[in-house]
């Protein structure tokens, strides 16, 4: 398979905005991001280059400084050799590819620590916005009864399935187009996504929780907490606590 590499310089300050840019450029065909190098299969580049160029121009703080064909046909294998499987606690191993969530982001590690401290036996868990599947895999390894992992991004769905298999954990991984929130199904909902998406999905999260079930949300900052708490309370959830890691927050609520 042939690849092109795009060299993209960013001066975006807000980390979540850069994450959004990365997420969207993946939707246009980029499948691996390594610092300022964005890799895309050459045929997708041919098909989508006008959209990608226009998308980069749309961002003031982004500059597409160059594009080259990768010389190495085995580029994918080379990349994987240089970016080995991430080794996490409990023997969990994650191959990140393009999907977000190799496990080291402050938000992800806060959620992992909370999972490790909880009793998950008999719990039905939803991981909304699963990325690499990392949280879903932790929940299952820690004894959850059933874990559903959902993502809007097709490549994340594939990557989460691959990582679940790599870790020998049985997880139901679904694309969001085939997942619907049913009432009173989950005892724990994990959602590490942007604040606006969390607010948008709050009614579904609340509805899908059993009485006494918990919603753990991360992916936002201190200044976002009042809006998230208000949205949660509007749906009948009660704040349990807010944990911090650097500038990031984890909010836990109970139904």
Q: How far apart are CA 195 and CA 187, in angstroms?
A: 22
Residue 115 has what DSSP assignment? Answer: H
Closer by beta carbon to ligand SAH, 108 or else 187? 108
Is 96 a binding residue for ligand SAH by CB under 6 A? The answer is no
Bridge-partner residues for 64, per DSSP? 8
Q: How far apart are CA 75 and CA 2, in angstroms?
A: 8
Q: How far apart are CA 206 and CA 254, in angstroms?
A: 9
Give, as ranges, the residues between 42 and 71 that touch ligand SAH (CB under 6 A).
none
Is 153 a binding residue for ligand SAH by CB under 6 A? The answer is yes
Segment interacting with ligand SAH, rule: CB under 6 A, options 5-13, 95-103, 207-215, 229-237? 95-103
Closer by beta carbon to ligand SAH, 23 or else 114? 23
Q: How far is the CB of 62 from ligand SAH (least distance, A)?
A: 19
Helix axes 134-141, 106-117, angle to 10 degrees: 10
Give, as ranges, the residues between 163 and 202 that touch ligand SAH (CB under 6 A).
176, 192-193, 197
Instruction: Tell me how many residues contact ligand SAH (CB under 6 A).
Output: 22
Q: How far apart are CA 106 and CA 19, in angstroms?
A: 14
First to last CA, the chain: 49
Closer by beta carbon to ligand SAH, 95 or else 152? 152
- Binding to ligand SAH by CB under 6 A, coded x per residue (else -) over 117-146, reads -----------xxxx--xx-----------
Q: How far apart are CA 218 and CA 107, in angstroms?
A: 6
Bridge-partner residues for 198, per DSSP? none
Closer by beta carbon to ligand SAH, 33 or else 99? 99
Q: How far apart are CA 194 and CA 15, in angstroms?
A: 11
Q: How far is the CB of 126 from ligand SAH (least distance, A)?
A: 11
Is 213 a binding residue for ligand SAH by CB under 6 A? The answer is no
Site residues, ligand SAH (CB under 6 A) = 23, 99-101, 105, 108, 111, 128-131, 134-135, 150-153, 156, 176, 192-193, 197
């Amino acid at each position: 398979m042939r690849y092109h590499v795009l060299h993209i310089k960013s001066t975006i300050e807000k980390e979540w905005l850069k994450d959004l840019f990365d997420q969207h450029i993946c939707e246009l065909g980029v499948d691996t991001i390594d610092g300022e190098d964005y890799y895309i299969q050459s045929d997708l580049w041919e098909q989508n280059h006008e959209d990608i160029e226009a998308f980069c121009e749309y961002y003031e703080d982004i500059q597409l400084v160059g594009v080259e064909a990768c010389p190495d046909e085995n580029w994918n294998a080379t990349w994987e050799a240089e970016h080995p499987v991430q080794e996490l606690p409990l023997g969990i191993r994650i191959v990140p590819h393009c999907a977000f969530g190799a496990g080291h982001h402050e938000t992800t590690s806060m959620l992992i620590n909370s999972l490790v401290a909880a009793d998950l036996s008999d719990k039905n868990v939803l991981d909304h916005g699963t990325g690499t599947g990392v949280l879903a895999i932790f929940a299952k390894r820690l004894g959850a009864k059933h874990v559903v992992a959902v993502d809007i991004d097709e490549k994340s769905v594939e990557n989460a399935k691959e990582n679940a298999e790599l870790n020998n954990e049985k997880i139901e991984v679904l694309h969001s187009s085939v997942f619907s929130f049913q009432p009173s199904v989950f005892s724990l909902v994990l959602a590490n996504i942007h604040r606006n998406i969390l607010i948008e999905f709050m009614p579904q999260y609340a509805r899908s929780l059993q009485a006494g079930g918990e919603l753990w949300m991360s992916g936002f900052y201190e200044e976002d907490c009042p809006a998230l708490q208000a949205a949660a309370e509007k749906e009948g959830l009660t704040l349990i606590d807010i944990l911090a890691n650097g500038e990031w927050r984890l909010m836990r609520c109970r139904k």
